[in-house]
């Protein structure tokens, strides 16, 4: 190996070592403070205290976005997928499709689009808040 390659390897080795967590500290809390910490961790959906504290230190914010809109989208996609599969099965076996089935699928797709737009607006506002 030439000197340049050795220098790069040494630089990468130092860089890797600097990423490892080698420092630690003890945090003493009273019972009330521990309850508040646990409550905030639960609210944020984080179960590891170390990760929670690191996120607070490095990011400054711990958010727990309301994902109910995304859950509703998932539910509607599932319903629509089942309806589409039923219509496809009927079309393949009988050679015809009922207009009511198509109208129902259109309704679910329109509802999904409304919810997708809500989710996008919500996520945009969350990201705007975080970046400030």
Answer for the pair 52, 62: CB distance below 8 angstroms, yes or no.
yes
Q: State the pLDDT at residue 17.
A: 58
- Record the tokens describing residue 107, joined without a space: 């309704």
Is 132's pLDDT higher than 60?
no
Query: What local confidence, expressed as pLDDT, does residue 104 receive?
Result: 83
pTM, whole model, 2 decimals?
Answer: 0.42
Distance CA 32, CA 49 (A): 16
Q: Is 131's pLDDT higher than 50?
A: no
Alpha-carbon torsion, ordered 12, 15, 21, 24, to 10 deg: 140
Residue 101: CA count within 13 A, CB half-sphere: 14
């Amino acid at each position: 190996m030439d000197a340049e390659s050795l220098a790069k390897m040494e630089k990468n080795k130092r860089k890797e070592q600097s990423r490892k967590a080698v420092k630690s500290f003890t945090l003493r809390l009273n019972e009330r403070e521990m309850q508040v910490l646990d409550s905030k961790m639960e609210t944020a959906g984080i179960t590891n205290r170390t990760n929670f504290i690191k996120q607070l230190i490095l990011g400054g914010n711990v958010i727990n976005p309301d994902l109910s809109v995304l859950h509703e989208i998932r539910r509607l996609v599932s319903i629509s997928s089942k309806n589409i599969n039923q219509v496809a099965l009927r079309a393949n076996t009988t050679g015809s499709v009922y207009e009511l089935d198509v109208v129902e699928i259109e309704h679910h797709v329109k509802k999904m689009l409304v919810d997708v737009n809500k989710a996008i607006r919500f996520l945009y506002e969350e990201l705007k808040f975080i970046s400030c």
